[in-house]
């Protein structure tokens, strides 16, 4: 009896677990066409009955439900697993175009009722008769899309080439400098079988733009009604473009090579050819037209804290502590969130109080690129160490950007912090907030010992054997004796002078950075040269995947850019965050550097930045490396 109840409990638990894993789903195409039948299905992973479907409002009921079942069993590592699926299929047909929502259905599984999901279906109009006069002409659609509270006109142009063509889609045609523009190429197919696209693709150079490509991992086919005809569509290329200058910028046309499946047209074609899908392949070059972007310059009146941001941003601040001891670190963390040209943001400057030792900030980026633009966070950690006790004020940190929604500059600010610094170990201050050059050391009592000091005997040292040693032959007061005293003293004075000079030189941080600028730049160029050898080595290219080569190329351009910027920062004594074209030009002119060398400096920095973010510009890595190395050599010959 006890065994019977145990079996009953186990069966009940198994049935309960199976019921808890019930999945009941409704599925249908996202887009359908008026007058064309389609299938609407319900699937459940348990044996079920009593399906109660809702009213299919807006659709004609053609047939169904047809019920089918499928099951499978597999053994993996000695464990048995099985699946079961029950499908209910309806055949429907849309009555009119529009967007329709089908409510959930219910079904009975093991005495319990379960509810499916609802389904939204977009119904497209029927194909309109196509006139021959419109074939091969350019057409413009005025579909407007809502973006960020503003109505942006989406322009799409594309000459129809039979039943397949590619359109150029831009999210906006009027933008500000540094405002993102989404450029996409979309293929339209009707009445032909598209097999694939080849590698013979010709894209524009996107001159005057910084480019951020969007990965299209999962390409989905969708129905779209365009110019009165329904097409299967898919986006084959998307990228974000950030204009770097104002005015009208023209994007050149693009071309794609498609492989189509064409039925055999032989005279001996029989019914067996149709049964076995007898097809041949044909290639067709599809041309997507260009586009023109009207770029408006950023208005005047930039705030002093403007960091190059264009978009919509917020900023949060967090201070590790306001009460610390001297020589203990304080960390200020800024988190900038938003959407826009996140990669081009400059690091805001922090005005630490006098007496705080500052370190280079640590920047952590977490960006996401999608068709909606680039968004994410940039976290900046500032580290400083107070060297003296007292009460200090850390002023607010300002961050300015241009708001594309409001069309004006915005300025974000952190709170003002009051820092209480207490005396700590090694603090060189006599009182809180009163610096002093006197260092306090621990004192010990002096004890006088009666037997720890003895008179020095002036007698000669005579060994036990009776043979005098060379040291014993030196008489007191002779020149040899004075040489033994003066020699170590002279060496000590020489070492003291050398070390004192080195301490003075190391105390001059700016001078040290100037002297080491060339060696630091050479180290980065050496690393860049090793990356360049990997890019130029054919065997290395074959052993590395496409994404690997892309990462090596990006690392090379990053090293080149850092080598140039770090060298100029060290030689010109300018913080890296303040380096820009105007600062570099004015500083080099003040040091009487020739104009041609100044132009070459700006051109190398510009090429390095554009090559890093816009590799399609055509700048070869070897040319950029040679120009950077020559520039550093020429600047070394100048008295900076």
Tokens representing residue 441 in the block: 């050391």
In this structure, what token pair is assigned to residue 255? 């071309």
CATH of 509-637, one of 1.10.3470, 1.20.120, 3.30.390, 1.20.1300: 1.20.120
Residue 470 has which token pair?
């060379």
Question: What residues does each domain of the chain span?
Answer: 17-124, 138-296, 311-433, 509-637
User: What is the rounded distance in angstroms from the CA atom of residue 164 to the CA atom of residue 288?
Assistant: 12
| pTM confidence score | 0.56
* Other C-beta atoms lying within 10 Å of the C-beta of residue 61: 13
pLDDT value at position 142?
A: 36
What is the DSSP secondary structure assignment for residue 190, as one 8-state letter? -
Q: Which residue in 479, 509, 611 sits closest to 556, CA to CA?
A: 611
Q: Under a CB-based contact definition with an 8 Å cutoff, are residues 167 and 186 in contact?
A: yes
Helix spans in 31-86 (H): none
d(CA 550, CA 538): 15
pLDDT at residue 8 in the model: 57
CA distance 362 to 341: 20
DSSP string, 541-609: HHHS-HHHHHHHHHHHHHHHHHHHHHHHHHHHT--GGG--HHHHHHHHHHTT--HHHHHHHHHHHHHHH
Is residue 452 within 8 A of residue 459, CB to CB? The reply is no
Give the pLDDT score at 432: 42
φ, ψ (nearest 5 deg) of residue 523: -60, -45
Q: Is the fold of 138-296 the same as that of 311-433?
A: yes
Q: What is the pLDDT of residue 272?
A: 54
CATH among 3.40.50.150, 2.60.40.10, 3.90.1150.10, 2.160.10.10 for 17-124? 2.60.40.10
pLDDT in the model for residue 58: 87
pLDDT at 237: 92
Helix/strand/coil for 535: helix
Name the nearest CA neighbour of 190 among 216, 160, 167, 218. 160
CB 255, CB 201: distance < 8 Å: yes
Asked whether 76 and 39 are in contact (CB, 8 A), the reply is no
Which tokens belong to 31? 């887009």
Between CA 437 and CA 430 the distance in angstroms is 9
Map tokens 């080149």 to a residue. Answer: 560
CA dihedral sign of residues 306, 307, 308, 312: negative
Number of Cα atoms under 13 Å in the Cβ half of residue 72: 3
Q: Which residues sit opposite 369 in a β-bridge?
A: 374
CA–CA separation, 71 and 315 (whole Å)? 55
Question: For the chain (length 640 residues), average pLDDT per consecutive 10?
Answer: 58 51 90 90 91 88 88 79 88 90 91 90 84 40 36 38 84 93 93 85 91 83 88 92 93 92 62 61 91 94 92 94 93 95 92 92 92 92 94 94 93 94 68 40 41 55 57 69 82 87 67 69 81 71 57 80 81 78 83 84 80 64 84 78
The CATH topology of domain 138-296 is Immunoglobulin-like (2.60.40)
Bond prior to 90 in cis (omega within 30° of 0): no
Place of tokens 């020699």: 487
Indicate the helix (H) or strand (E) that contains 384. strand 373-386
Cβ atoms within 10 A of the Cβ of 248, count? 9
- In CATH, the number for domain 311-433 is 2.60.40.740
CA distance 589 to 595: 8
| CA of residue 436 relative to chain centroid, distance | 48
DSSP code per residue over 81-94: EEEEEEEEEEEEEE
Q: Render the burial of 514-551: b for 16+ CB within 10 Å, e for the rest.
A: eeebbebbeebbebbeebbebbeeeeeeeebeeeeeee
* C-alpha–C-alpha distance, residues 578 and 565, integer Å: 11
CA distance 550 to 615: 10
70 secondary structure, DSSP code: E
């Amino acid at each position: 009896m006890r065994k019977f109840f145990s079996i009953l409990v186990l069966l009940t638990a198994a049935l309960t677990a199976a019921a808890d894993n019930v999945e009941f789903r409704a599925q249908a195409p996202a887009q359908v066409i008026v007058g064309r039948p389609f299938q609407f299905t319900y699937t459940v992973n348990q044996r079920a009955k009593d399906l109660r479907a809702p009213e299919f409002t807006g659709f004609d009921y053609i047939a169904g439900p047809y019920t089918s079942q499928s099951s499978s069993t597999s053994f993996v590592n000695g464990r048995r697993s099985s699946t079961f699926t029950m499908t209910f299929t309806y055949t429907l047909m849309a009555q009119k175009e529009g967007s329709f929502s089908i409510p959930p259905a219910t079904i009975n599984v093991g005495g319990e009722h379960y509810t499916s999901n609802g389904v939204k279906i977009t119904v497209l109009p029927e194909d309109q008769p196509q006139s021959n006069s419109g074939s091969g002409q350019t057409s413009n659609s005025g579909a407007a899309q809502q973006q960020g509270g503003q109505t942006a006109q989406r322009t799409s142009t594309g000459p129809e080439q039979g039943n397949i063509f590619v359109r150029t889609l831009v999210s906006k045609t009027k933008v500000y400098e540094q405002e993102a523009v989404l450029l996409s190429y979309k293929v339209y197919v009707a009445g032909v079988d598209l097999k694939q696209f080849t590698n013979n693709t010709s894209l524009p150079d996107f001159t005057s733009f910084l480019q951020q490509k969007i990965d299209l991992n999962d390409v989905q086919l969708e129905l779209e009604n365009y110019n009165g005809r329904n097409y299967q569509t898919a986006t084959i290329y998307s990228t974000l473009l950030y204009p770097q200058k104002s005015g009208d910028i023209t994007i050149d046309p693009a071309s794609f090579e498609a492989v189509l499946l064409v039925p055999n047209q032989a005279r001996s074609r029989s019914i067996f050819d149709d049964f076995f899908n007898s097809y041949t392949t044909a290639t067709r070059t599809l041309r997507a037209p260009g586009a023109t972007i009207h770029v408006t310059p950023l208005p005047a009146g930039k705030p002093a804290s403007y960091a190059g941001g264009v978009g919509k941003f917020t900023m949060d601040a967090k201070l590790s502590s306001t009460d610390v001891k001297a020589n203990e670190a304080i960390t200020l963390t800024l988190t900038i969130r938003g959407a826009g040209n996140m990669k081009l943001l400059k690091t805001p400057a922090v005005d630490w109080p006098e007496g705080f030792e500052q370190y280079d900030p640590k920047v952590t980026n977490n960006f996401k690129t999608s068709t909606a633009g680039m968004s994410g966070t940039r976290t900046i950690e500032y580290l400083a160490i107070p060297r003296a006790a007292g009460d200090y004020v850390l002023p607010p940190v300002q961050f300015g950007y241009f708001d594309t929604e409001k069309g004006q500059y915005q300025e974000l600010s952190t709170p003002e912090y009051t820092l209480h610094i207490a005396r700590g170990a090694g603090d060189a201050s006599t009182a809180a907030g009163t610096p002093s050059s006197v260092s306090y050391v621990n004192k010990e009592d002096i004890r006088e010992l009666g037997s720890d000091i003895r008179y020095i005997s002036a007698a000669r040292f005579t060994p036990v054997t009776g043979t005098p040693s060379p040291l014993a032959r030196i008489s007191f007061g002779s020149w040899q004796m004075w040489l033994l005293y003066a020699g170590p003293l002279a060496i000590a004075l020489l070492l003291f002078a050398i070390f004192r000079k080195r301490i003075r030189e190391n105390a001059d941080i700016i001078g040290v950075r100037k002297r080491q600028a060339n060696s630091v730049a050479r180290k980065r160029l050496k690393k860049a040269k090793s990356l360049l050898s990997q890019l130029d080595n054919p065997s290395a290219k074959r052993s590395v995947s496409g994404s690997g080569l892309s990462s090596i190329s990006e690392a090379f351009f990053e090293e080149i850019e850092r080598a140039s910027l770090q060298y100029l920062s060290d030689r010109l004594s300018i913080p890296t965050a303040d380096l820009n074209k105007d600062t570099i030009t004015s500083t080099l002119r003040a040091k009487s550097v020739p104009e041609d060398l100044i132009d070459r400096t700006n051109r190398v920095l510009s090429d390095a930045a554009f090559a890093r973010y816009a590799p399609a510009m055509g700048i070869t890595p070897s040319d950029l490396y040679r120009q950077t190395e020559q520039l550093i050599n020429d600047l070394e010959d100048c008295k900076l």
